[in-house]
Amino acid sequence: MDHFYGPGRNHLFVPGPVNIPEPVIRAMNRNNEDYRSPAVPALTKTLLEDVKKIFKTTTGTPFMIPTTGTGAWESALTNTLSPGDRIVSFLIGQFSLLWIDQQQRLNFNVDVIESEWGQGANLDILASKLAADTAHTIKAICIVHNETATGVTNNLAEVRKILDEYRHPALFLVDGVSSIGALDFRMDEWDIDVALTGSQKALSLPTGIGIVCASPKALEASKTAKSVRVFFDWKDYLKFYNLGTFWPYTPSIQLLYGLRAALDLLFEEGLDNVIARHSRLGKATRLAVEAWGLKNCTQKEEWVSDTVTAVVVPPYIDSSEIVRRAWKRYNLSLGLGLNKVAGKVFRIGHLGNLNELQLLGCLAGVEMILKDVGYPVKLGSGVAAACVYLQNNIPLIPSRI
């Protein structure tokens, strides 16, 4: 029973956690098992092999840690760096801010490159810092691929290009929590050293698995990194990988079976098709926002996100009221504006196991809410703009051709 019951289904359109598909829910509906039995290691082995595909890596080593994305952050940092190491980190929104806070509390020397919220990472400043760092004092570059607070996606290929241009050996660490499995992500091609994601985002699972993937260079760095780590220590995982039992401590059996089902759904649709679907959802949402006469928080087309859209409201409207009314009246969950953009934006998440008609229901709800709070929206305008685009761009479902 829901704590606050509402008829029908809750329309979940925050940028994580996201909708869980029925096959995943059914896969998780099972009893506990002995993780030391032959069954769980056999399952884990297939998961470790297949999870590499969403990172697009053949050389990376994945770790499926029972944690959140925040724990995955800490794992990435403490296994590759030592206290006092200089790292360059980009501050472009709430989640990059939180990662920087963690970096500082872990006693790294954090060189922050800050941009206005709504802008992407300032790569010109990165280039100037790398050019000046002839002694290679910078040990890592940390960047959030997709900043969900502002709906900004950064260009990772360009970061790699700059590192290569200056022949700089710094590790390349990427938060892909709201991008991996939904946006174009190429760990091997972009020579990313550590990438990470969380189960509650594109994988459409409950929160509880932080997936970290480490390059050979990152694994080598972990041998000399002096940061204290216990629960997140890759060395413990590697020991049990070699033993063939895989787990240094108890995993969530139900989440492992759920992950198996989630990966199967992604692969059945095809990862390229999944990315294209998210591109359609993102474009349709942005067309709706434009039709409403509102602005996207993201300031340039090159930075727009296909997993979340942050919508700027007029000064006379508190965006928090939009979110409250969505939940109270329409059983619709939208994302709040966070920190610097609190009260100024609301966020529409279009991420995970989600189709176009579900999105149109959300957009219709947003239009009614805008009308409720006094914004002069023409009902049907955003839905119509999205419909015109989607009707011309939705392909046939591959399994039904």
| Residue numbers belonging to the annotated binding site | 347
Closest among 229, 230, 237 to 82, alpha carbons compared = 229
- Write down the H helix ranges in 56-138: 69-78, 94-105, 123-132
Q: Are strands 210-214 and 194-198 parallel, antiparallel or unpaired?
A: antiparallel
Encoded tokens for 302: 């090159």
Distance CA 121, CA 124 (A): 9
Q: Which residues are annotated as a binding site for substrate?
A: 347
* Residue 10 burial class via C-beta count within 10 angstroms: exposed 0-12, middle 13-18, buried 19 and up: middle
**What is the DSSP track for 217-285?**
HHHHHHTT-----STT-HHHHHHHHHHT---SS---HHHHHHHHHHHHHHHHH-HHHHHHHHHHHHHHH
**What is the DSSP track for 365-394?**
HHHHHHHHTT----TTHHHHHHHHHHHHHP
